[in-house]
Structure 1
């Protein structure tokens, strides 16, 4: 039986590049959803709910697909949630709040069969230890990378690494926006193994 096509429910170029690493063909579409948190909602519940909502938003337009949804939030030690800053002022405030603290990043992941409604969800935690940041460092970083569409106001794949003392977690890909280890586990449980698909017809040396 032919495997169902994969759809990434995201317009994020960062997630697209990450998913390409698995070597499976896929397409992308942008879901239109309300990302506002519900009062009293935990960071884990928010990230997981938004990942599922993104996937479900595209089921009518993409029947016959397995749809991948993902979303990320950051949680400060006091429990407050940081989402995408959207502008320079909010990003400055977020990095000032994170300076010198451990920040927990929670990346929600959902895999949904658009036809049957079969769903698997996961939330991947990853802790970032921010060093103490001077205001001029924050300003210089934001001017150079402008990470206003990134939860926590940094880009892990760029100069964001200069903001940290240490990283703690099993999958650094989740910081960029898509937990590939968890996604690979889901796909294998659903009968697709990236290592066994599209193998080159080349004899071993």
Structure 2
């Protein structure tokens, strides 16, 4: 993927800034580079450039290792979730299901020699079960930022909330998000509208 070309193709400052950073340095093994790639993918989505996101997804559509480094894989999984969300919106359900199945495999990779895939998955679903729509959306943090008049923090919390709503919500792994799918979609639209100003 040519990040330099991407930085020249679009005018939105977040896309230009992140593309330039990635043009200077990109390695799939570096957390900082993957964080930039993840942010770029979601900013492309916010501005409606979905074709470019598939190129980013293809870049990180890699084999699942036997040991998961979540400093790397947190960002890869978010990009996978974004592409699955796009496929779902385009009614390409088999492609979406394939990505979600691979996400489940990643979350099921045993952390220690005593763990099994089943016990690791059970532990993950326990954590996912605790997530509420409000916590995923960063509602409390956004309200505090609004009260203190901190627009930068408000935008940052909306961005991280949007990323989680999309990448968690499409999986079906989070019961509270499944139960509140309509509200989740409303919040996604609201956050995109805010960030697209």
Shorter-chain TM range is under 0.3
Bigger share in strand: 1
Bigger share in helix: 2
Report the TM-score when normalising by structure 1: 0.22
More RCO (CA 8 Å, sep 6+):
1
Q: Which structure is larger by alpha-carbon Rg, 1 or 2?
A: 1
